[in-house]
Structure 1
Amino acid sequence: MQYAIDETNRRKKIQEAYNKEHGITPKSTKRRLDESLKLEEYDALAWKKEKVEKMPAAERKKILIELNKQMKKASHDLNFEEAIRLRDEIEKIKKI
């Protein structure tokens, strides 16, 4: 545990020195929780929804299982943006 703390502090010092050298002031990102990280065009979204609505329930279930696998893999690979996008996609399909 101490190694992780020391490594974090070491990296923080390097980042702070870099920021100071290049005149960078870090700032927090602000977004609503329901905002998508990846913007989709309305037409593409409407087309997806229409396609999923016509899909048989068994096929939707298969897609949900596959999306869950992809989401878990993305989070395991520390690709959290992709995991969040997949989570949102799963929720959209479940609502249909």
Structure 2
Amino acid sequence: MQRTIDETNRRRAKQIAYNETHGITPTTIRKSTQEIFAQTSVLDIKDVNDELANGPVQLTLSAVLDEQVEYKTVSQLEKAIKQVRKEMDKAAQRQDYMEAASLRDEVFRLEGLLKEMKA
């Protein structure tokens, strides 16, 4: 336990020294309740109804993709993988990591299908 505390203190001192050297003042990240709820994977039905009442819902590619979609050719599947990766990168740039992880899982699933098709 003491080794862990000592290591934490060492890292903290190193970070403080770095911040002072580079003129960085750490600030607390402040997010609204809505931002926090938007990043969670579990949605309250009330929140979903509120979003529906506020106008059209923007569906992401992962919400539209269905596991039952059949890809008849290798090129169709490769195109789908490329498109999902592009959406994953966009989600990561928006810092929507839950969506990016979901899209990453979809890429893995599609790559598995691609391996099966090529075999």
**Normalised TM-score (structure 2):** 0.42
1 or 2 for the larger relative contact order (CA 8 Å, sep ≥6)? 1
1:55 Cα offset (Å): 2.4
Secondary structure in structure 1 of the residue aligned to 2:86: helix
RMSD: 2.3
Q: Which runs of 5+ in 1 are unaligned?
A: 13-36, 39-46
Task: Name the residue aligned to 1:48.
Answer: 67
Which residue, out of 68, 76, 82, partners 2:85? 68
Amino acid at match of 1:84: A
Identity %: 21
**Normalised TM-score (structure 1):** 0.51
Secondary structure in structure 1 of the residue aligned to 2:67: helix
Between the two proteins, the alignment pairs up a number of residues equal to 58
Partner Cα distance (1:95, 1:63) in 2: 13
Amino acid at match of 1:81: M
Task: Name the residue aligned to 1:93.
Answer: 110
* Residues 57-91 of structure 1: CA deviation (Å, up to 9, x unaligned): 10001111110100000000000000000000000
4+ residue segments displaced more than 3 Å: none
Amino acid at match of 1:59: Q
Partner Cα distance (1:84, 1:71) in 2: 8
